[in-house]
Structure 1
């Protein structure tokens, strides 16, 4: 067991269901095939206790998916409200998404969510907020005008994913990641 997970044990014992889901996402991002027993061990609880909260692995996965969207919803408002920033909130969006990177990576990587209508609906309700920020950056001339909305989103998500993975693996400093994402994004899709 890693030191990181071992340190969280005592905190999770007394914490909320959200903390349990945060540990679960760490375990499942590190090993997508991790069992409920491994998640319970990392959280410092018994398997029976975990089963009281989530009867099946699918129940746990769905709960982690909803937690990821909860966190994204909580954080994206900062970027949307940064309309006065010279970049229209682009850096704030990168920072918000990288901060919940492991959760979003779990959503993006897990094929179970391709068919989870409730999670898909929630994702589609938050996504326009991200697009608002990206379109603002485009309207301010930071991005090429002809780039389609879908491509704005997908390339941004890809950069956020790589940055979050790099932060998680220790290859990139958390404070450097948003600037690197924005720089790569605006130079790759940037206006001439």
Structure 2
């Protein structure tokens, strides 16, 4: 792994747990000097922008790996449910590396990242709409609302893990059951 990648990986993980970490703290987490970090990233905003771009890359990879487009196009409830299960698991797994990208203002407010984010969100929402049409997800709410709900659950998992309120091993099942089954008593 290159020094740049080492810095990025360390920054991604550190900023997820310590969002206000300084460039010096990021350098220490990466095991390099602050000057090395600044050789690769002129400032914190540039570093966070790169983390945001990597987060979007991972989002895109997760959608492809889970077969989201194919599942949505199939109209098969079982295939759609499997695609939902797969993509939710991938999103939860990515939290440890990219949790900071969910809410950091530098990432969230970047026009370049926002444009790509909206395109990826549209792909994800197409799966939710297909799931609604197939009777897998409730159809009485907008499909985009379902997408925002998943995002909210991911922020909740990140925060609950940081607070020690849930075990890492339970995170995926909690997201899946909360999103797919809801919070209502049966």
- Normalising to structure 1: TM-score of the pair? 0.79
What is the CA–CA distance in structure 1 between the aligned matches of 2:155 and 2:70, rounded to whole Å?
22
Alpha-carbon distance, 1:105 to partner: 2.9
CA RMSD of aligned residues (A): 2.6
Contact 2:56 2:117 in 1 (8 A): yes
Runs of at least 5 residues in structure 1 that lack an aligned partner in the other structure: 1-13
Of structures 1 and 2, the one scoring higher in RCO (CA 8 A, sep 6+) is 2
Secondary structure in 1 aligned to 2:20?
Answer: coil
| Aligned ranges 1:146-185 → 2 under 5 Å | 146-167=140-161, 171-185=165-179
Pick one of 81, 96, 100 that aligns with 1:106: 100
List structure 1 segments (4+ residues) > 6 angstroms apart after TM superposition: none
Q: Deviations over 1:49-73 (max 9, x none)?
A: 1110001111111111111111211
Q: Select between 85-94 and 148-157 the one with higher mean Cα deviation.
A: 85-94
| Aligned ranges 1:1-192 → 2 under 5 Å | 15=2, 17-79=4-66, 80=68, 83=71, 85=79, 87-167=81-161, 171-188=165-182
- Normalising to structure 2: TM-score of the pair? 0.82
What is the CA–CA distance in structure 1 between the aligned matches of 2:53 and 2:87, rounded to whole Å?
20
Alpha-carbon distance, 1:114 to partner: 3.8
- The number of equivalent residue pairs is 178
